[in-house]
């Protein structure tokens, strides 16, 4: 309008909203904008396409020609008759060994499988907090159920384990409110008292003729062992990491010093060293007749290891919170545990999610290191009994390692997708 | 900084000062390391009094007010709040903190909780009020600060003025007997300053004991019954607002007032 050019202007009518100009959409436009916008990008596109073609043209026939039903590599070669193809038969034939190890009684495979299914149910309410809170009751019972399912033996063992934890929770609930340290130490003492007394009460040979056949730890193996180590160590190391991070912030010099030394020591040592310590030396620290299970020793070491990393990640999250949050919590009269649980940790943990997931994924993959201390996890199975120990399958590297990589990838990718979902879900700052 | 005019009539009928002492500070000194921030502070605040603390930047206003609920520790002297002496005893500190509400310059709402949860958290966990009752109480105070319809939003979705009013409501939900304000309007745009000041005036009209660090001299003139001027960690002058603004005694005060009022 012409008036708009003069200095004084008053809008005489309001401009109604109109839709944005119609986008020129379509495949050709998209291609031109994203892949062929100029000659450099066109060149890159063509080179990339060629590379993808080269990779797929070798990989696809290899997979599609794959043989699934023979019983040795030699037979595979006969079936393939010189064609280029994979020998997946090793996976089908050794399927149970890859998953459960070579000593787990084959008529009992349903037990770890059931434990795995239960794990999915138990973990669901922890991961997805929209699910009914009542499901957490199952989560609490799960470790003991899984323990009994996988190891079998007398049902007294998981019951004693549960009673010990229950006693600890009770003591902490009774004293922890007034005096955190007293409650904490009391809880540990109570748990050990119940465990020691309980173990003495279980008669020798209770495992014979038990409902579920007893399977000793050394018979566990395969991907099951990786899952067990991964799940146990990750779920133990997060609370321990939180405690270490808070301890590192503590005003009490003794607690602070112990946490700092522990964290710095563990972070400065390779995991593999700790695992060797677990396999040979740790028994010196326990009473001579304790004979602590190798699985437990490995769990202790891996948990301590990743707890130190989790602690550092959470410390970063704590440091990122503005001081005002502490002050607001204090000025409302919340005490330290309340301020931490309700205000500080929810925010600090939210910031720390990517870091914690990083540690969890790393730890899960590092569970394969136990193959070095002669435990037969997935990698140990492939290296030892399957590739090294059997004449039939000596030489099927690609198929076996590819399978192992795929299993780990599926789990780790799932964890990473979950963490992204969680971050989106928890974002309240900007909508 | 601005002398914001407060248009409406202020109801002084309930703004009575009782003889009962709410806060007593005697011979209080505080150091940050070797830096002497608060020097021999003596101050008595009666119940129902509304005190405005003014002074140049760095004079120790925030530090003084933060000592009153032990966000900062004092090294010498005595502070008695609501009959309880502030010592390093955590029980006393928690008790005083739950009796004294505080509003900060940057609101310090909890960003991971909704407005309603921000307001119910402390009553539920500190005062052990049943959840339903706490929510009713929170809605009551949110209505009072005129934002009941935002109750289910998160702090990040509110304007600064709204956030500060939520912060006031959050403190009020603890039913405090004393309210401390540390520059509650200095992070806000002029339009929002007014809505926060209105809320504070309403509180004053209900007889709340208030200590307020602020540069809003219009507010000080109309609501305060004492203005305290601090400089270099010291209380330099205190007087009734009329006298304080029209007839400042010390040179330091005159200089400050001429700067802030832009004469
Ligand atoms: N944590 C601290 N450590 C050391 N010195 C501090 C600390 N906090 C504040 N100070 C110093 O103490 C003095 C008083 O600070 P205070 O925040 O009380 O001032 P103020 O009067 O509130 O100023 P403003 O109007 O800028 O908010 C300042 O010189 C400041 O640099
Ligand atoms: Mg200040």
B163-181 pLDDT per residue, tens: 999 999 999 999 999 999 9
Which of the two residues, A200 and A47, has the higher pLDDT score? A47
ipTM above 0.95? Answer: no
B94 contact A CB<8A: yes
The verdict on a CB contact (< 8 Å) between A328 and B109 is yes
CB nearest to A342's CB, from B100, B102, B121:
B121
Count the domains in chain B. Answer: 1
Report phi then psi at A370, rounded to 5.
-65, -15
Q: Write down the pLDDT at residue B34.
A: 92
Name the least confident of A1-10, A152-161, B7-16.
A1-10
Q: Write down the pLDDT at residue A328.
A: 95
Q: Which domain holds residue B87?
A: 21-262
A251 contact B CB<8A: no
Residue with tokens 């912060």: B167
Is pLDDT above 80 for A204?
Answer: no
- Nearest-ligand number for the alpha carbon of B231: 1
Q: How confident is the model at residue B1 (pLDDT cuts 50, 70, 90)?
A: very low
Q: Which residue of A has its CA nearest to B126?
A: A334
Q: Which ranges in A249-293 belong to alpha helices (H)? A: 253-267, 271-276
In 3D space, the residue among B35, B74, B39, B34 whose CA is nearest the CA of residue B233 turns out to be B39
Q: How confident is the model at residue B227 (pLDDT cuts 50, 70, 90)?
A: very high
- Please name the fold of domain A218-425: MetI-like fold (1.10.3720)
Q: Write down the pLDDT at residue B8.
A: 67
* DSSP 8-state class, residue A4: G
Is pLDDT above 60 for A9?
Answer: yes
Q: Residue B181: helix, strand or coil by DSSP?
A: strand
- Nearest-ligand number for the alpha carbon of B58: 1
Query: Which residues, in sequence order, are bridge partners of residue A360?
Result: none
Q: How confident is the model at residue A69 (pLDDT cuts 50, 70, 90)?
A: confident
Is pLDDT above 70 for A429?
Answer: no
Which of the two residues, A5 and B60, has the higher pLDDT score? B60
Helix axes B160-172, B190-205, angle to 10 degrees: 20
The verdict on a CB contact (< 8 Å) between A324 and B106 is yes
Q: Write down the pLDDT at residue A431.
A: 44
The verdict on a CB contact (< 8 Å) between A332 and B122 is yes
Q: Residue B160: helix, strand or coil by DSSP?
A: helix
Q: How confident is the model at residue B237 (pLDDT cuts 50, 70, 90)?
A: very high
CB nearest to A331's CB, from B90, B102, B157:
B102
C-beta separation of B215 from B230 below 8 A: no
CA angle B252, B253, B255 (to 5 degrees): 65
CB nearest to B157's CB, from A334, A342, A431:
A431
The CATH number covering residue B92 comes to: 3.40.50.300
Residues 6+ apart with CB under 8 A from A405: none
Is pLDDT above 80 for A428?
Answer: no
Q: Write down the pLDDT at residue A27.
A: 78
Q: Write down the pLDDT at residue B53.
A: 95
Q: Cα(A323) to centroid of ligand 2, in Å?
A: 14
Assess if residue B200 is contained within a domain: yes
Average pLDDT over residues A138-147: 93
Please state whether beta strands B100-103 and B178-182 pair in parallel, antiparallel, or not at all (unpaired).
parallel
C-beta separation of A68 from A75 below 8 A: no
The verdict on a CB contact (< 8 Å) between A428 and B71 is no
Residue of B70, B100, B105, B108 to mutate, interface with A, max A Cβ within 10 Å: B108
Q: Write down the pLDDT at residue A113.
A: 94
Residues 6+ apart with CB under 8 A from A281: none
Assess if residue B225 is contained within a domain: yes
Q: Among B58, B182, B187, say which to mutate for ligand 1: greatest number of ligand atoms within 8 Å of CB.
A: B58
Residues 6+ apart with CB under 8 A from A56: none
CB burial class (10 A; 0-12, 13-18, 19+) of residue B258? exposed
Helix axes A397-426, A345-366, angle to 10 degrees: 180
Q: For ligand 1, what atom is nearest to the CA of residue B213?
A: 22
The per-residue pLDDT for range B84-99, each reduced to its tens digit, is 899 888 888 988 998 9
Chain A CB contacts of B95 below 8 Å: 333
- Nearest-ligand number for the alpha carbon of B32: 1
Q: Rounded to whole angstroms, what are the CA distances from B37 to B28, B43, B227?
A: 11, 16, 20
The verdict on a CB contact (< 8 Å) between A333 and B154 is no
The per-residue pLDDT for range A88-115, each reduced to its tens digit, is 988 998 899 999 988 899 889 999 999 9
- Rounded CA-CA distance B238/B230 in Å is 9
The verdict on a CB contact (< 8 Å) between A330 and B106 is no
- Rounded CA-CA distance B210/B184 in Å is 13
Is pLDDT above 50 for B6?
Answer: yes
The per-residue pLDDT for range A223-263, each reduced to its tens digit, is 999 999 999 999 999 999 999 999 999 888 999 999 999 99
The domain spans of chain A are 153-211, 218-425
The per-residue pLDDT for range B149-160, each reduced to its tens digit, is 999 999 999 999
Identify the residues whose C-beta falls under 6 Å from ligand 1.
B 32, 35, 37, 55, 57-63
- Rounded CA-CA distance B154/B117 in Å is 9
Assess if residue B232 is contained within a domain: yes
Length of chain A, in residues: 431
Q: How confident is the model at residue A7 (pLDDT cuts 50, 70, 90)?
A: confident
Q: Write down the pLDDT at residue A324.
A: 94
Is pLDDT above 80 for A178?
Answer: no
- Rounded CA-CA distance B214/B228 in Å is 11
CB burial class (10 A; 0-12, 13-18, 19+) of residue A36? middle
The verdict on a CB contact (< 8 Å) between B125 and A334 is yes
For residue A344, give how far its alpha carbon lies from the nearest alpha carbon of chain B (Å): 9
């Amino acid at each position: 309008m012409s008036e708009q050019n003069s200095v004084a202007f008053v809008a005489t009518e309001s401009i109604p909203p109109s839709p944005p100009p119609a986008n020129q959409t379509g495949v050709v436009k998209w291609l031109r904008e994203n892949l062929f916008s100029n000659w450099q990008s066109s060149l890159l596109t063509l080179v990339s396409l060629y590379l993808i073609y080269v990779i797929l043209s070798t990989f696809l026939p290899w997979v599609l020609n794959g043989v699934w039903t023979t019983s040795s590599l030699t037979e595979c070669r006969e079936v393939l008759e010189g064609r280029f193809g994979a020998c997946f038969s090793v996976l089908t034939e050794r399927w149970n060994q890859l998953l459960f190890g070579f000593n787990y009684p084959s008529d009992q495979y349903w037990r770890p499988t059931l434990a795995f299914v239960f794990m999915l149910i138990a973990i669901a309410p922890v991961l997805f907090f929209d699910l009914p809170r009542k499901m957490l009751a199952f989560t609490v019972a799960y470790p003991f159920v899984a323990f009994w399912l996988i190891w079998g033996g007398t049902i007294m063992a998981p019951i004693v384990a549960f009673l010990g934890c229950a006693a600890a929770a009770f003591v902490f609930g009774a004293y922890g409110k007034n005096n955190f340290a007293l409650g904490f130490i009391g809880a540990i003492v109570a748990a050990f008292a119940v465990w020691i007394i309980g173990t003495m009460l279980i008669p020798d040979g209770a495992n014979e003729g038990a409902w579920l056949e007893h399977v000793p730890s050394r018979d566990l193996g395969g991907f099951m062992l990786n899952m067990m180590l991964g799940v146990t160590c990750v779920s133990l190391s997060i609370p321990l990491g939180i405690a270490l991070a808070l301890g590192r912030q503590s005003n009490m010099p003794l607690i602070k010093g112990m946490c700092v030394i522990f964290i710095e020591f563990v972070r400065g040592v390779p995991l593999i060293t700790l695992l060797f310590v677990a396999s040979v030396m740790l028994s010196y620290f326990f009473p001579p007749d304790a004979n602590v299970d190798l699985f437990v020793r490995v769990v202790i070491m891996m948990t301590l290891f990743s707890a130190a990393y989790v602690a550092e990640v959470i410390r970063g999250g704590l440091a990122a919170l503005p001081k005002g949050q502490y002050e607001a919590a204090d000025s409302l009269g919340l005490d330290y545990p309340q301020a931490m649980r309700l205000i500080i940790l929810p925010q600090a943990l939210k910031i720390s999610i990517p870091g914690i997931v990083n540690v969890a994924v790393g730890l899960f993959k590092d569970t394969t290191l136990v193959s070095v201390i002669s435990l037969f996890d997935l990698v140990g199975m492939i290296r030892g009994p399957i590739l090294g120990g059997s004449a039939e399958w000596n030489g099927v590297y690609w198929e076996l390692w590819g399978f192992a990589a795929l299993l780990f990838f599926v789990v780790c990718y799932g964890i990473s997708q979950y963490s992204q979902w969680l971050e989106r879900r928890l974002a309240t700052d900007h909508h | 900084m601005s002398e914001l005019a407060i248009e409406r009539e202020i109801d002084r009928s309930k703004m009575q000062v009782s003889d009962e002492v709410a806060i007593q500070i005697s011979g209080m000194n505080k150091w940050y390391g070797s830096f002497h921030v608060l020097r021999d502070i003596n101050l008595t605040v009666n119940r129902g009094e509304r005190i405005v603390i003014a002074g140049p930047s760095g004079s120790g206003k925030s530090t003084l007010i933060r000592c009153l609920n032990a966000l900062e520790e004092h090294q010498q002297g005595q502070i008695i709040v609501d009959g309880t002496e502030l010592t390093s005893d955590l029980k006393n500190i928690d008790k005083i903190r739950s009796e004294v509400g505080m509003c900060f310059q940057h609101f310090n709402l909890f960003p991971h909780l909704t407005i309603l949860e921000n307001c119910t958290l402390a009553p539920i966990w500190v005062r052990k009020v049943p959840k339903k009752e706490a929510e009713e109480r929170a809605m009551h105070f949110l209505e009072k600060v005129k934002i009941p319809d935002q109750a289910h939003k998160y702090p990040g979705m509110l304007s600064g003025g709204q956030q500060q009013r939520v912060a006031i409501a959050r403190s009020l939900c603890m039913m405090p007997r004393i309210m401390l304000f540390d520059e509650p309007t200095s992070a806000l745009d002029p339009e929002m300053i007014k809505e926060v000041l209105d809320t504070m005036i309403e509180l004053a009209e209900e007889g709340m004991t208030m200590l307020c660090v602020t540069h809003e001299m219009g507010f000080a003139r109309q609501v305060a019954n004492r203005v305290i001027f601090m400089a270099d960690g010291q209380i330099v002058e205190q007087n009734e607002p009329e006298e304080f603004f029209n007839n400042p005694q010390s040179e330091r005060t005159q200089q400050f007032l001429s700067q802030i009022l832009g004469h």
